[in-house]
Amino acid sequence: MMSKKKKTLVTVASVIMVIATVLGCVVIAQKIPADSVKTTGTTAGSPTTTATTTQSTTTTTTTTTTTTTTTTTTTTTAKPTTTKKKTTTTKKKTTTTAKEEKITTTKYTTTQVYNPDRKAYLESIKGNKKLIALTFDDGPTNNYTVKLLDNLDKYNARVTFFVVGDRVSKYSSTLNRAYKMGNEIGSHTYSHKDLAQLKPAELQKQIEKTNEEVKKVIGVYPSLMRPPYGSYNNTVKSAAGVPIIMWNIDTLDWKHRDKNKVCQNIVKNAHDGAIVLMHDLYGSTVDGAIMAMDKLQHEGYAFVTVSELAYLKGKTLEPGKVYNSIK
């Protein structure tokens, strides 16, 4: 029988061996590499290790992709919307232009260049470098316009009248005589309104009524148009249907009513291809114009209508185009 003391020693030794075994296992476990655990876990398909790796990658990628896609989509959608608005605006402008073109009265364009009775004379002055067109607005009248007509033949002169429509019927005999003499008849609209301030319908009415009144008297439509006050815009140019004639010599006859100043303004500023603005509403204007023709004729000038001037210069006057002079 083992003594009690030996038994105690054996027990203690066994405990020590157990403790040593446990400590040895712990040390060995600590020396195993971390990637061995990951590899082992992956190979074994460890749910914990695989889930952790996948979740980290997926979460980052998904968040970035979603944000980028959303931003791109929003930007792309905004651009077509802006483009559509611009397209709509352009269409409105096109519609407006179409309306302006729609009221163009091209049927009033005439092919008259000069009176056949003037052909021989015009051929004789071709190449003349001193051609001038005298023009008269706001008529016709009886006394003053008639006095002007009585003096034109003296200077082999013909002029251009821009008549007001609501005066045509009242002074029809004067207008008819002016036309038959070979003077040119243009429109100054029906009631002398500022055309640039009118709506298209009223603008068209001002032009058409004048044209019809003139045709009733002389048998043809006016060949030219001069807007009252020299006021025009793109709508007026589209609606005119004939060349628009302005001027580059203004006598200011309506302002000073002085025949000497009328004459002086014409003679002092006269040059080849000039278009002179006057009004046959005033006796002083007609007297001043006659005085100027007398002086300029001695300087070699020839007095022609606007269309004759264009013909002699080899120019074709175009409907809706504005002319201040013709050289």
143-152 helix and 283-298 helix, angle to the nearest 10 degrees: 10
Alpha carbons 6 and 18: distance in angstroms, whole number? 18
User: What are the tokens at 162?
Assistant: 């821009």
Tokens for 178? Answer: 């002016």
Name the residue among 178, 134, 180 with its Cα closest to residue 288.
134
Active-site residue, 137 included: yes
Look up 271 and say whether it is catalytic: no
Instruction: Note the Cα 313 to chain centre separation in Å.
Output: 30
Contact residues for 109 (Cβ-Cβ < 8 A; gap 6+): 241, 242, 319
- What DSSP character marks residue 196? G
C-alpha span between 80 and 15 (Å, rounded): 85
Instruction: Given the residues 138, 258, 279, 287, select the one marked as catalytic.
Output: 279
| Rounded Cα gap, residues 217 and 179, in angstroms | 10
Helix (H) or strand (E) holding 277: strand 274-279
Active site residue ranges? 137, 279
